[in-house]
Amino acid sequence: MNENLKRYFKVGGLLCALGAISALLITGLNVFTAPQIQANQQEKKAVGLKIVYSETVSWSDDVTLSGTYLTSYNVCYDAAEQEIGYVYSATGSSGVVKTTKLLIGVSGTAEAPELGKIYFITNGATGAYGVTVENNYVDPYNASPSDSTLGEVKCGATVAASLIKAMVEEARSSYVASKGGH
Amino acid sequence: MDEIARKRHHESFVAGIIKENPLFVAILGTCPALAVTTTLEAAIGMGVLFTFVLLGSNVLISALRKLIPEEVETPAYIVIVATFVTIVKMLCEAYIPNLYSTLGVFLALLVVNCIVLGRAEAFANKNSVYDSFLDGIGNGIGYTLALIVIALIREVLGTGMLTFGDIFTFLKINGESVHLYLLKGPTWDYSIYLFGTPAGAFFVFGVIMAVLAYRANKKKDREATERRARAFAAAEAAKKAASPSTAPLAPKGGND
């Protein structure tokens, strides 16, 4: 066999072997970590549902959605098993803001939907921008969820805040539609 | 021979901590260093994960250095580093989820971290496994210490306090994070918001670099002065030795 060809095979074989060992290691580890990661997400979601609506005692199973950002929603109930509102799960990214996962509360009627609190499952704005969007946008919004606090996107982390605003608006539209509105 | 080997091992370990500190001396890995140093806990977490990745990749690359052909060194190194980063990422997401969400994309970016790839190229592929292991630990400790210094300054000045338990939940007391108030009290707050922002990170990094440069220049000046003094003393001694003696010569012979 040509010497060059032998060398190409050797190089290719080595890279394939490295890739295969790497893939095996990662797959093996994933078997152990995936259930734990899922449990963490569920735990965080349960905490989030109770933060969005503090009187939440129980909630429905996930209802899958396929919106631009919305992936599912849960209906929250209080101790008297009365519906409190819907909590939407939204996922999205925008420019420098990586995957952001939010819980968004919406309640009320189709004619007069009321915005509820929002809760970060994952804050895609990292470092100081992550802290800025939480302190300057999410906290004031959660203190008083309304269209005026929702519109205050120029908070020092405008891209992240605009993404959250778009997610909340989509959640409200979905809520209105699900309650029979337009 | 043993003495030489011991000295080399010692040098491999110590160099990365202070003399060749990756962040403050080589100025490598500044991007994550500025981004994740908003809190001390995040800095420690990043430092530990970085050390694990550097250590693992250094050891494996050193062990495979005779097998990896020169033309595919970089792709092979990236595969090895990426494997360690993915392992660290998965473990972190499963068991320290708060650290995972705080570090965000900067954890994944360790794959292309210039310190990790730099140590692989410059050290691990030329030295023994043991030396590469020591180099990995030394550089990891050096980088972690550098992150801790920046984070300590930024968290104290930026928030007025140190917080423990937000990321490492086992540090919580009665389910609450522990706050150590330093520049903040019930009625007063001397914290400066700027230090929590990226601009503050650059400012702190710049000040630390300036202090280190001042110290290095001062040391250089002192050494130069000492060198000049030694050269002057040597020249004086040589001049003295070369010049004829001024002492009167003893009269030769007896009386005529």
What is the domain partition of chain B in residue ranges?
A: 2-202
pLDDT band at B96 (very low <50, low <70, confident <90, very high): very high
Question: Residue A68's pLDDT is what?
Answer: 93
Closest chain A C-alpha to B146 CA, distance in angstroms: 17
Cα-based distances in Å from B34 to A118, B89, B154: 29, 20, 10
The verdict on pTM exceeding 0.80 is: no
Residue B60 amino acid letter:
L
Q: Is B87 on the interface with A (CB under 8 A)?
A: yes
pLDDT band at A95 (very low <50, low <70, confident <90, very high): confident
**Least confident stretch, A8-22, A28-42, B235-249:** B235-249
Angle between helix B129-159 and helix B198-242 axes, rounded to 10 deg: 120
Residue that the structure tokens 């968004």 belong to: A104
Interface test with A, best of B65, B67, B77, B87 (most A CBs within 10 A): B87
Q: What is the ipTM, given to two decimal places?
A: 0.74
Which whole number is the average pLDDT over A143-171?
92
As a whole number, the mean pLDDT across chain B is 89
Q: Please determine, for residue B185, whether its predicted confidence score (pLDDT) is greater than 90.
A: no
As a whole number, the mean pLDDT across chain A is 90
Retrieve residue A12's tokens: 């290719």
Residue that the structure tokens 């040391």 belong to: B219
Q: Is B88 on the interface with A (CB under 8 A)?
A: no
Q: Is A96 on the interface with B (CB under 8 A)?
A: no
Which whole number is the average pLDDT over A55-70?
91
Q: Is B66 on the interface with A (CB under 8 A)?
A: no
Q: Is B191 on the interface with A (CB under 8 A)?
A: no
pLDDT band at A45 (very low <50, low <70, confident <90, very high): confident
Q: Please determine, for residue A153, whether its predicted confidence score (pLDDT) is greater than 60.
A: yes
**Least confident stretch, A64-73, A123-132, B97-106:** A123-132
Question: Residue B251's pLDDT is what?
Answer: 54
Phi-psi region of A60 (alpha: psi -120 to 50; beta: other; left: phi over 0): beta
Q: Confirm if B241 and B233 have CB atoms less than 8 A apart.
A: no
Phi, psi for A64 (deg, rounded to 5): -75, 140
Q: Confirm if B155 and B38 have CB atoms less than 8 A apart.
A: yes
pLDDT cut 90: percent of chain B above it? 59
pLDDT band at A165 (very low <50, low <70, confident <90, very high): very high
Q: Which of B67, B94, B200 sits opposite A14 (nearest CB)?
A: B67
Look at B91 and A18 and tell me if their CB atoms are within 8 Å. Answer: no
- The domain locations on chain A are 49-178
Residue B178 amino acid letter:
V
Q: Determine which helix (DSSP H) or strand (DSSP E) holds B83, and give its type and residue range.
A: helix B73-95
Residue that the structure tokens 């050797």 belong to: A10
Read off the pLDDT of residues B168-182 as tens digits, 9 standing for 90 and up.
989 999 888 999 999
* Residue B110 CB-density burial (10 A; 0-12 exposed, 13-18 middle, 19+ buried): buried
